[in-house]
């Protein structure tokens, strides 16, 4: 069973339907009503909206779903390098947070801002850094990926033993 890393409901909570609607709108397109998006996501009645509005909302949801799928594929690439068996049966909360950041970054593709001070770009780059560490085995998600003990095998240091089996062989005779 393929458990998604993030869902439309997760994204509706954060960053929220208003942001999703605004970022997904194509150039020259009026953003879809966040109330209509909520009605569709929660499978409520949409008869009070026009068929054109409902069609536009479904197109918006389709674009968001495409970004969700792209983010999961990006994450899976790193998890595959680490040797995780995919699809995951249990999704750590951390992966949901990372997927949210990646989806948000992908949806803001046309954002005009300074990359150095943009929190969306900053968060995305941080997530990529963590995913690279996961792939290299330097960061554990806590799911069937036991990392080697830090520091390797214990080593004993100190002076040479004065009393050992050879020097004590004749003692006690």
Both tokens of residue 18?
A: 């208003």
The answer to whether residue 113 scores a pLDDT higher than 80 is: no
Q: Label residue 50 exposed, middle or buried (CB < 10 Å: 0-12, 13-18, 19+).
A: exposed
- Report the alpha-carbon distance of residue 82 to residue 89 in Å, rounded: 16
pLDDT on residue 155: 67
Compute how many other C-beta atoms are within 10 angstroms of the C-beta atom of residue 12. 17
- Cα separation, 75 vs 127, in Å, equals 10
Between 170 and 73, the more confident residue is 73
pLDDT tens for 82-101 read 988 899 988 999 999 999 99
Summarize pLDDT for 59-72 with one digit per residue, the tens.
Answer: 999 999 999 999 99
The domains of the chain are located at 8-136
Distance (Å, whole) CA 23 – CA 21: 6
Q: What percent of the chain has pLDDT over 70?
A: 90
pLDDT at 145 over 70: no
Percent of the chain predicted with pLDDT > 90: 64
Write down the pLDDT at residue 6: 97
C-alpha to C-alpha distance for 118 and 125, rounded to whole angstroms: 11
Question: Of residues 78 and 161, which shows the higher confidence score?
Answer: 78
Mean local confidence (pLDDT), 47-61: 97
Residue 164 has pLDDT above 80, yes or no: no
Cα atoms found within 13 Å of the Cα of residue 139, Cβ hemisphere only: 14
Indicate the pLDDT class of residue 127, thresholds 50, 70 and 90. very high
Q: Please give the span between the terminal C-alpha atoms of the chain, in angstroms, as a whole number.
A: 71
Is pLDDT above 70 for 47?
yes
């Amino acid at each position: 069973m393929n458990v998604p890393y993030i869902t439309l409901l997760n994204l509706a909570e954060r960053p929220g339907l208003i942001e999703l609607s605004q970022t997904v709108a194509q150039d020259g397109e009026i953003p879809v009503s966040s109330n209509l998006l909520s009605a569709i996501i929660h499978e409520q009645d949409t008869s009070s909206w026009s068929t054109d509005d409902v069609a536009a909302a479904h197109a918006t949801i389709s674009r968001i779903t495409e970004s969700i799928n792209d983010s999961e594929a990006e994450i899976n690439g790193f998890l595959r390098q680490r040797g995780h068996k995919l699809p995951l049966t249990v999704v750590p909360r951390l992966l949901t947070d990372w997927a949210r950041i990646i989806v948000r970054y992908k949806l803001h593709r046309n954002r005009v801002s300074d990359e150095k001070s943009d929190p969306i770009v900053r968060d995305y780059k941080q997530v990529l850094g963590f995913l690279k560490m996961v792939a290299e085995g330097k960061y554990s998600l806590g799911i069937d990926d036991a990392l080697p003990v830090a520091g390797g095998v214990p080593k004993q240091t100190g002076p040479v033993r004065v009393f050992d089996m050879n020097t004590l062989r004749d003692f006690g005779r």
